[in-house]
Amino acid sequence: MFLRYVEATADEAMLTAARNQSEISSRLLQATEGRANDGAVPGVQVQRARIEADRSKRAVARREADVRASRLRLAAAMGIDGLSSPLRAVPDLSAILPTQSTAETPEIAVRTAEVQGATADVRTARLLGRPEFQIEARRAPFYETSNQIYARLQISFPLFDGRRTRAERGAAEDRRVAAERTLADTRQQAEAALQAARIEFVAAQEEVASFEPTLESARTLVLRSEVGLIEGATTFTDTLEAVRALREVEEGLVEARRRLGETLAELLRATGIVLPALRGAR
């Protein structure tokens, strides 16, 4: 369910970015039409600006469909009919991540229980060939006047069992060895998966952090380009390229945050942490 939440929040962020791009494209179209009416730019630039505005509107419609679909999948995963409010951003769960490098996944717990069960079977099999000692205490029947108590001791042990005891003991030992090897392999794979998840998580964090200054620069460039286009200091092509650069940076940041959420989910799975049900998403 956590991955569904990451997907839904990423789609909503993409929708926000698409709406921002649509607003910028609309302002660009208005500015270009004003410049064309003054005779400062040819009409072909108005056509190009209108194409960009139409493309932005189609992108908004596509992102809205993606949001509806992802919210529906998330609601189904949560077992509710639907989501009525916007989703919160994926929380920073770094504080709950364990500092130790040992993975404790449910699969490891299952394999450990299998080893414990196989060890118990070995101990049981070793007891099969040992003599059995039994003691009983009985008293005289009630209808007799005597109140004597009798004791009975019995020792029994198998003489000829066709080596069944040895075979069962050997089979139990083999099962224990196999269970221990399976546990070792599972733990080794879990440790490798945990280390790989940590590497991917740190890389995703660094990628998201690297986008922040680039996004601010791209936004500043678009604002300056819009002002320059109105005043005639910037060409239409330069302004259009600035808008496209901002779109690429915004979408790249959303994708980076999506990867961060996915790597966080993988890291949580590798560490064996089970998150509580999502709250506040309805």
Q: List the chain pLDDT tens, one digit each, 282 residues.
A: 778 888 888 888 899 999 999 999 998 888 888 878 877 778 788 888 899 899 999 999 999 999 999 888 888 887 877 776 667 766 666 655 655 556 677 888 889 999 999 999 888 887 777 777 788 877 767 666 667 777 778 777 766 665 777 888 889 899 999 999 999 998 888 888 888 888 998 899 899 999 988 999 999 999 888 888 888 777 888 888 898 999 999 999 999 988 988 888 888 888 776 655 444 444
Q: Residue 278: what pLDDT?
A: 45
- Which residue, of 65, 90, 115, is where some domain finishes? 90
Does residue 148 belong to any structural domain of this protein? no
Same domain? For 258 and 184 the reply is yes
Q: Residue 113: what pLDDT?
A: 92
pTM over 0.75: no
Same domain? For 78 and 120 the reply is no
Q: Can you read off the two tokens belonging to residue 139? A: 């008293």
Q: Can you read off the two tokens belonging to residue 165? A: 């005891």
Same domain? For 212 and 247 the reply is yes
Does residue 137 belong to any structural domain of this protein? no
Does residue 143 belong to any structural domain of this protein? no
Q: Can you read off the two tokens belonging to residue 26? A: 């609309």
Same domain? For 116 and 244 the reply is yes
Same domain? For 4 and 123 the reply is no
End-to-end CA distance of the chain: 14
Same domain? For 51 and 170 the reply is no
CATH code of the domain in which 240 resides = 1.20.1600.10
Does residue 155 belong to any structural domain of this protein? no
8 A C-beta contact, residue 52 and residue 29: yes
Does residue 239 belong to any structural domain of this protein? yes
Same domain? For 171 and 271 the reply is yes
Query: What's the domain count of the chain?
Result: 2
- Which residue, of 43, 61, 90, is where some domain finishes? 90
The Cα-based distances of 7 to 68, 89, 268 in angstroms read: 12, 11, 16
Q: Residue 180: what pLDDT?
A: 93
Which residues of the chain form beta strands (DSSP E)? 132-139, 149-156
Same domain? For 72 and 102 the reply is no
Q: Residue 162: what pLDDT?
A: 56
Does residue 139 belong to any structural domain of this protein? no
Same domain? For 187 and 228 the reply is yes
Q: What's the CA gap between 100 and 198, in Å, rounded?
A: 12
- Which residue, of 36, 68, 90, is where some domain finishes? 90
Does residue 41 belong to any structural domain of this protein? yes
Q: What's the CA gap between 63 and 98, in Å, rounded?
A: 36
Does residue 64 belong to any structural domain of this protein? yes
Same domain? For 68 and 106 the reply is no
Same domain? For 61 and 104 the reply is no
Q: Residue 281: what pLDDT?
A: 42
Torsion sign over Cα 234, 235, 238, 243: positive
Q: Residue 226: what pLDDT?
A: 85
Range of the domain at 37: 1-90
Same domain? For 110 and 85 the reply is no
8 A C-beta contact, residue 1 and residue 274: no
